Structures are given as structure tokens and as C-alpha cells.
Structure 1
């Protein structure tokens, strides 16, 4: 079906559910995400990060074209999102590459610099019809960096600061730091649901959870019930892919045809996608406030 946009998917999401957004690196990732979403009969967002573009020697177009083609052939609505973009040049390639939304990431900068950079990105993006997400606070764990301590300055998103940031920057959605971390390979993150409640009450834009691969199912359900509208997942797919390939080759060390072990890896990722979409569509009870 025709490409949709991240904003449209979030607007159309049912109560007590969040839009699942999966980061893709290879064609097998793309195919697995679409297959998993079709199995779950749910819309999905295909996300390409700046790190993934760097892996492809800085060329955005091949993976973007593959994602677009897969999305247009999908039996469920699919949106394309450019994720964690720090490069203004890459931001300006988003429209021609077929993306309908961008996460512009200046969260590494001091607050006023983050605000100025994000505001400039929003002005340009909105002029091109792009939906734009930003981050305030630091989720941590990107590019091999250790996650911030829970009490470190800037580690968590402050609701009052977030309200001002959203109003002054004009962003369409905000990724909030409430205890998750990127690139976690264990599902041990504990979210600050009381902070999420304050953020949801302070903001009138959709809230996004990054680093969700390290968040247990019950924590995800509660976060969605508490106001998270979009959930980003990446490492969980890589764990599924690598584990399936490792097991396949351990059992069949003579195999050299990549189609055989990539088939196993793709199937494992699709199963992970379908399962996590189910988690995000499950109604949960809000924690006592």
C-alpha cells in the first residue's frame, strides 16, 4: 500500500497502544520488519539511523529505496523515518530519499545550543512537509558510550524544561529520557514511570521511548499506558539475527551459502517484531500515583 507517515500512524493509533519503530541496517532487516508487522496485522515504522547510513559508506539511497519498495508492497501501513540525525546535510537528503519524518538529535549539546539547532532543523523540515522528533535529556548508550547514571545532570528529561523546549523549538514529538539506554543486550532497564506521568501531563506532543530493546515487556506495557506513543527498537533485532545465524552455523559448519543462514536470521527478526508489536498493543494498568 502507499507509504504513510509516522505522524499519521501515531495519530491513528488506538488507545493503550504505541507505534512500533524498528531500526533497519540491511535488506534482511527491512524484510523482517515488514513480515513481522504483517503477521501482527499492525502498522510499523522502518527507521534508518545516521549510523546505518555511515555503515553503507554514507550512501542513504540504496537502503532507503529498498525500504520504500518493501513498504509499498506491504499489506500494512508502513512509514519511513530517518533516525538520530546529527548531520544537517543528511537531514536535507531526507525528502528526496522518501522519508516522511526525521529524528534530529542535538541532545549532546547544552540546552540552549540544542534548542537553537533543533529550532533551525524544525523550520527547514516543516517547510519540506517533514514530521520532526527531537530528544531532551540523554538516553545514552549511543556509539558505544556508557549510559548516564540516573542522577547525572541531564540524564533525565525535566518536565518544565521539556515544556519550554517543545514550545520554543516547534517539534512534533519528543524522545524522553526516563531510564532506558541504547544498545542494551539485557532487558533489565527500569523506567521512571512517575517522571513519565509528569512529562505526559506537561506536554501536548507525542512522547517517544528510545533504547527500548533493554526494557522488559511489563515495563513497556506500563510506559505505553502512561503516555509513550512511539517505541524505538533496534538492538533486539540484531540479537535475534546474530543468535539465529550463530546457532545455524554451529549446527551446520559446512554451510557457506549466506542465503541459508540469512533465512534463519530474517525469520528470527520477524518473530521478534511480531512479538514486540503485540506487547505494545497490550493494555496495561497505570502504576499508582
Structure 2
């Protein structure tokens, strides 16, 4: 299932439009960084995005992404979140387990599904990608199984060759590792940094066991390029445009097209997955079953 990151209202509107055009369910994700962009106020951006999701003609889940702040995690239930990704992956392993266990207990006590990360999916906050064989650049299947058992999380983001914030699509995934993780881990696997992964690699990843596929940077590339193209052509006019709706409309349309592509690409013609980010999407209902894994 495709999960798309939201920064502005236009992102949310475009993601829903693209999902509707593709006829596919999607997840709208608001990250801790996006909350910070909105002056640290979780309520207004959540209310706006939730309203867009509620008006959609396809199922749309709402997810709070890459939370490192316990304070933000504790605010999530009051704003209607039933799904959260708590990220302690930058901590030493023992500290990651301990912090994630506490977060998972809180999440489950408040009816929230929780995703965590083991390994290092690099590129966060401008950090460079890790070399392919650097310590922590790949998630070990046995360690992943132990981590899930120790923390009780409902899904696991794993490091298999992708990186956040890639602006070219040159990542090469370790599909044998994805398969091994799928067989070792009892909960759905999540691929972060998917914008840098070529289409065929994404298809293979889903076939190998990925259930939730996160996409953010690809949307921002479409968004900003559409605005650049409009303003470049507008600069020669006698009276350049000052109404942001003119270029934000182009940006929104461009993002919708990108979303439709990824939503269709990641769809499975034979299997569907319960909507992550809704109260019914518990660990037991979204865990991969025997046979091909739902997209």
C-alpha cells in the first residue's frame, strides 16, 4: 500500500485526487518535521488533512510519521490518530528497544497501531546515504524478529538499500534480504525512502514482502518543478502573476499525477490490505498471511 507524506494542504488534496484517479486506497502521512513546519501545532494540520481524507471517494488512512518526540506521540490520540511511526533508530540498539517498547505500550493503551524502525534508512534531515555495507546499513532478519518480539510493534521499517530524500531513482534494493525479513518477521514490513527506487525495484519489493511503501520526495520534486516552470514562463510578462493559486494549481495537479502513478504501480490486482491508520487495522489483521503479500 502506498503511503504519501503531506506538508501542505495542497499535498493532501493532490494525494487524494491521485488516489481517486488510480482507484486505490492510500495513506496520508504527517511527519514530525511537517508538524514543526506548522509551528509545532499538531491540531490544525491534522484537522485539515483529516477533512480531506474524509471527503475522498477511496479509503484513506491517516498516519503520524517519524515521531521521535514522546510529547508529540502523547498528543496523537487526542487528535484522532490511530496509527503512528515511532523512530528510535538513531539510538544504540538496547536504547532503541527500550524506547520503542515504552512507545508501543502507550500506543496500544490508546488504540494506536505502531510502526518502528530497525537498521538505518539514511538521508534523514540531510544526512548522506550509508555505504551499502556500512554497520547498520542493512537490517538483520534474526535481530528484526527479536526486536519485534521485544517491543510488540505492529509493523517494521527496515533498511534494505533505500535512502530518504533521494532526488534520482537509482537505489538498488536487496530483494533477498526483503524475502528473508518477510519470513523472519511476524508483522508487515515498511519501505522508507521509496522515491529513490525505480519502478521495477518497487514491484519486486512488494512481491518479496513489503506491505507499506512510503513516498515523499517524489511529490516534492513534482510540486516544486511545476512552480519553477510556471514562474520561469511568467517572468517575461508585463504584469507577472502574484496570485499563488495560479502556480499552486499547477503544483497540485503535478503531485496528483505522481501519486496516481505510484498508487497504480503499488496496487495488487489479486490482494488487498486492510487500511493501516484506521481502528480496524490491528497487528493481527494487517500481518502478512501465507501467499503473495498485499500491496
TM-score (norm 1): 0.91
Residue 250 (structure 2) pairs with residue 273 (structure 1): no
Partners in 1 of 2:81 and 2:222 — Cα distance? Answer: 26
Report the alpha carbon displacement of residue 282 of structure 1 after superposing the two structures with TM. 5.5
Residue 240 of structure 1: aligned partner? 222
Name the counterpart of 1:188: 170
**1:139 correspondence with 2:125:** no
Unaligned runs of 5+ in 1: 1-18
Matches within 5 A, 1:23-42: 23-42=5-24
Query: What does 1:124-163 correspond to in 2, within 5 Å?
Result: 124-163=106-145
Is residue 110 of structure 1 aligned with residue 110 of structure 2? Answer: no
Q: How do 1:1-289 residues align onto structure 2 when only pairs under 5 Å count? A: 19-253=1-235, 254-281=240-267
Structure 1 residue 204, shift from structure 2 partner: 1.2
What displacement does 1:217 show?
A: 0.1
RMSD over equivalenced CA pairs, Å: 1.2
In 2, Cα distance between equivalents of 1:267 and 1:107 = 35
User: Does the 8 Å contact 2:24/2:267 carry over to 1?
Assistant: no
Output the CA distance in 2 between the equivalents of 1:152 and 1:56. 35
**Offset of residue 155 of structure 1:** 1.1
TM-score, with normalisation over the residues of structure 2?
Answer: 0.89
Which 4+ runs in 1 deviate beyond 6 A? none
Query: What is the CA deviation profile of residues 187-241 of structure 1, one whole-angstrom value per residue up to 9, with x for unaligned ones?
Result: 0000000111110110110000000000000000000000000000000000000
Match of 1:11 in 2: none
Q: Residues 37-65 of structure 1, C-alpha deviation per residue, up to 9 Å, x if partnerless?
A: 11111111000001111111111111100
In the alignment, the residues of structure 1 paired with residue 103 and residue 257 of structure 2 have an alpha-carbon distance, to the nearest angstrom, of 36
SS of alignment partner, residue 180 of structure 1? coil
- Residues 45 and 79 in structure 1, CA contact (< 8 A), matched pair in contact too: yes
**Structure 2, unaligned stretches of length 5 or more?**
270-291
* Number of equivalenced pairs: 267
- Structure 1: how far apart are the matches of 2:163 and 2:62? 23
Hey, what's the Cα distance between the residues in 1 that align with 2:174 and 2:18?
Answer: 29
Would the aligned equivalents of 2:20 and 2:58 in 1 still touch at CA under 8 Å? yes
Q: Provide the rounded CA distance (Å) in 1 between the counterparts of 2:19 and 2:184.
A: 32
